[in-house]
Amino acid sequence: MGHLCNSVQVIAMVIGTLALASSGSAAPADDDAAKGLAILRKNCARCHALELTGASPHPQAPPFRDVVERYPVEDLEESLAEGILSGHPDMPEFTFEADEINAIVTYLNSLKAKENAK
Using rule CB under 6 A, residue 35 touches ligand HEC:
no
If the CB atoms of residues 88 and 114 are measured against ligand HEC, the closer one turns out to be 88
Return the range that interacts with ligand HEC (CB under 6 A); candidates 3-11, 23-31, 53-61, 109-117: 53-61
Would you state the torsion angle of the CA atoms of residues 83, 87, 89, 94, taken in this order, to the nearest 10 degrees?
Answer: -10
Query: From CA 78, how far away is CA 81, in angstroms rounded?
Result: 5
Told to check if 116 binds ligand HEC by CB under 6 A, we report: no
**Each residue of 41-69: b (16+ CB within 10 Å) or e?**
eebbbebbbbeeeeebeeeebebbbebbe
Residues between 58 and 87 that touch ligand HEC (CB under 6 A) = 58, 60-62, 67, 76, 85-87
Which residues form the interface with ligand HEC (CB under 6 A)? 40, 43-44, 46-48, 58, 60-62, 67, 76, 85-91, 94
